[in-house]
Amino acid sequence: MPTDWRSLPPLTALRAFAATAELRSFSQAARVLNVTHAAVAQQVRALEDHLARPLVHREGRGVGLTADGEKLAEALGEGFAAMIRGVEALRAGEADRPVRVTLTASFAAQWLMPRLKGFWDRHPDIGLSLHPDARVMDLRRERMDLAIRYGNGDWPGVEATWLAPARLVIAGAPALTGERDLTIEDLRRMDWVLSPNWPEQDSYLRSLGLDPATLSRTDIDSDDLAIAAARQGLGLVVESLALVEADVAEGRLRLVHERAETLPAYFIVNLPGQQRAAARAFLGWLKSQV
């Protein structure tokens, strides 16, 4: 049976009466509700007018309840207790849910995953829910705690913290590049693993005097696969520095050239305001990786 919401008195009046009935005092009810004594008394009188019957009466310095008031107080006590249990259960579930993070698949695979053991060594009880997606999500609507985004860090309505460099670099397996510095002529003769239809990559190569159309190239439209191919010595790759940092540090790839720009970069993005403890812990750990 649907609830007849129009028949209910205002919730503020019911709450004021329930607090007064529990504490037997307008003044004490006002303190717990963080309103004035007069406001509580006015709400209770309004409830009595709505129901057309008295609910309270003066009793020394406090108040007593009429027979109707006792019945209503008992029903409201049960109802508000059920509401409180429901809200507390929801809050507990929200506190325990994994930290939800949206980021690109490539950044997750190449930058985050190699570092995650360090986070779980510190916080083994915190779960993560990673959502690899190239789209820019609405954090509030999608209920995301954090995002890792590529750009200039100037998005409206969110807080952005610099995380990792995204400037383009050229890298290759040491077996392919050798140890010496490579000239433009060396680069022109070498094999490449490139992304098709990526203007920023092509502009970078042209700035070095290389024509992307004339290079000996294998086109792979996936950062992860292109980096994997470069590790195998199949060609030089153009990538964001953050995506090959681990490979360079561990000797699987060698940097041949890198741009000097500081932006765009990868940023940690979150909504302003208080965050859950688990989300704060993950955010703090991410910042420690800078």
User: What is the CATH number for 243?
Assistant: 3.40.190.10
For residues 22 and 63, membership in a common domain is answered with yes
Work out the angle at residue 284's Cα, subtended by the Cα atoms of residues 278 and 285, and round it to the nearest 5 degrees.
Answer: 90
The model carries a pTM of 0.67
Confidence of residue 288 (pLDDT cuts 50, 70, 90): very high
Measured CA to CA, the distance from residue 51 to residue 136 in angstroms comes to 52
Q: What is the mean pLDDT of the chain?
A: 92
Does the pLDDT of residue 261 top 90, yes or no? no
Distance CA 279, CA 290 (A): 17
Q: Both 32 and 114 in a single domain?
A: no
Residues 87 and 103 in one domain: no
Q: What angle do CA 186, 192, 198 make, to 5 degrees?
A: 120
> How far is 188 from 192, CA to CA, in rounded Å?
9
Pairwise CA distance, residues 276 & 205, whole Å: 44
What confidence score (pLDDT) does residue 69 get? 94
| Res 5: pLDDT | 83
Same domain (yes/no): 30, 136: no
Q: Are residues 34 and 146 in the same domain?
A: no
**Torsion-angle region of residue 139: left (phi > 0), alpha (psi -120 to 50) or beta?**
alpha
Q: Is a pLDDT exceeding 70 seen at residue 11?
A: yes
Task: Please indicate, yes or no, whether residues 271 and 248 belong to a single structural domain of this protein.
Answer: no
CATH of the domain at 79: 1.10.10.10
Which residues, in sequence order, are bridge partners of residue 259? none
The answer to whether residues 114 and 59 belong to one domain is: no
Give residue-wise pLDDT tens across range 52-105. 999 999 888 889 999 999 999 999 988 888 888 777 766 665 667 899 999 999
182 and 130, same structural domain? no
For residue 235, the enclosing domain spans 168-258
Q: What are phi and psi of 173, to 5 degrees?
A: -65, 140
The C-alpha atoms of residue 246 and residue 260 are separated, in whole angstroms, by: 19
Q: How many domains does the chain have?
A: 3
Judgement on whether residues 222 and 253 belong to the same structural domain of the protein: yes
Phi first, then psi: what are they for 260, rounded to 5°? -100, -10
Please, which pLDDT band fits residue 274 given cuts at 50, 70 and 90? confident
Strand partners, 239: 169
Q: Are residues 197 and 251 in the same domain?
A: yes
Nearest CA-CA partner of 187 in 222, 226, 216, 220:
216
Query: Which residues, other chains included, contact 52 with Cβ-Cβ below 8 Å and sequence gap of 6+?
Result: none
Which of 63, 96, 129 corresponds to the end of one domain? 96
39 with 152, same domain? no
Sheet holding 265-270, edge to edge: 128-132, 99-103, 146-151, 265-270, 159-165
Single-letter code of the amino acid located at 130:
L
- pLDDT tens digits along 135-162: 888 998 888 999 999 999 999 989 999 9
- The residue count for the chain: 290
> Of 285, 189, 170, 185, which Cα lies nearest the Cα of 238?
170
Q: Are residues 10 and 92 in the same domain?
A: yes
pLDDT tens, residue by residue, 212-245: 999 999 999 999 999 999 999 999 999 999 999 9
Which tens digit of pLDDT belongs to each residue from 113-125? 999 999 999 999 9
Confidence at residue 275, expressed as pLDDT on a 0 to 100 scale: 85
**Chosen domain end from 70, 96, 122:** 96
